Amino acid sequence: MRTGRRAALPAIAILALAAASPAQAHPHVWIEMQSDVIFNAQGLISAVKLTWTFDDGYAQVALDGLDTNGNGIYDPAELEPLTRENLESLKDYDYFTHVRFAGKAQAMGTPAEAGQTYSDDKLRLHFQLPLVTPIDPTKGEFVLKVYDPEFYISFNYLADATVAVTGNMPAACKPVLKPVPSDAEIEQTRAMLSTKGPDWKPDEEEDFGALFAQPVTIQCQA
């Protein structure tokens, strides 16, 4: 039985593999997600909250050895090392979370209010990421995308997903979860990728995972 740091290694493995497999053009791990936008008292976007539900295959590997008291229940104390190690490893990948405002990438701070649960046979990770500089959504377009740049991990919203808002959002604004790329758009992307050589990597403006990402925006009327 593995305990402590070794018990968390399967969770870290998917993140390490994401960086180590640039030639893969299809995902190996699947995450269903919920993204919430948090406003401060001044009506500025101050953080995003992310909730990820892992696929069953990954969950089985990640949970192996964590039920230390053998009661068949994964309580918060048993899952805490997994959460800690996941977040430490996610830091190297910017938490797979990309925010742009008026077209410019935004810096994110240290995660807060993080935790992990296992219920209904599903392993979930949740955490908040603060923006280093809060955003006024009435001054430009806010776009949130969660994705693995090399598409080793697939992030998807549930079919009935909505974007929740917490705090003082301006009355003229609303959250919008934009549609996933159409089949035609995906086929066009695949055709483009098929022309690339084995050593190809996307540059900053041609981000591989972003081609498949579903954006969250805050749209405000003038």
Q: What is the crossing angle of helices 4-20 and 56-63, to 10°?
A: 140
Whole domain around residue 139: which residue ranges?
Answer: 25-54+95-195+202-220
pLDDT at 26: 67
What b/e readout covers 188-221, taking b as 16+ CB neighbours within 10 angstroms?
eeeeeeeeeeeeeebeeeeebbbbbbbbbbbebe
pLDDT tens for residues 20-42? 444 445 677 889 999 999 999 99
- 213 inside domain: yes
- 154 inside domain: yes
pLDDT at 18: 44
- 215 inside domain: yes
pTM score, two decimals? 0.79
Does 12 score more than 70 pLDDT? no
- 168 inside domain: yes
Confidence at 207, pLDDT banded by 50, 70, 90: low
- 90 inside domain: no
Confidence at 208, pLDDT banded by 50, 70, 90: low
- Lowest average pLDDT, out of 89-93, 111-115, 141-145, 188-192, goes to 188-192
- 104 inside domain: yes
User: Which stretch of DSSP H or E encloses residue 63?
Assistant: helix 56-63
Does 205 score more than 70 pLDDT? no
**Total number of domains constituting the chain:** 1
pLDDT at 10: 45
pLDDT tens for residues 170-188? 999 999 998 876 777 777 7
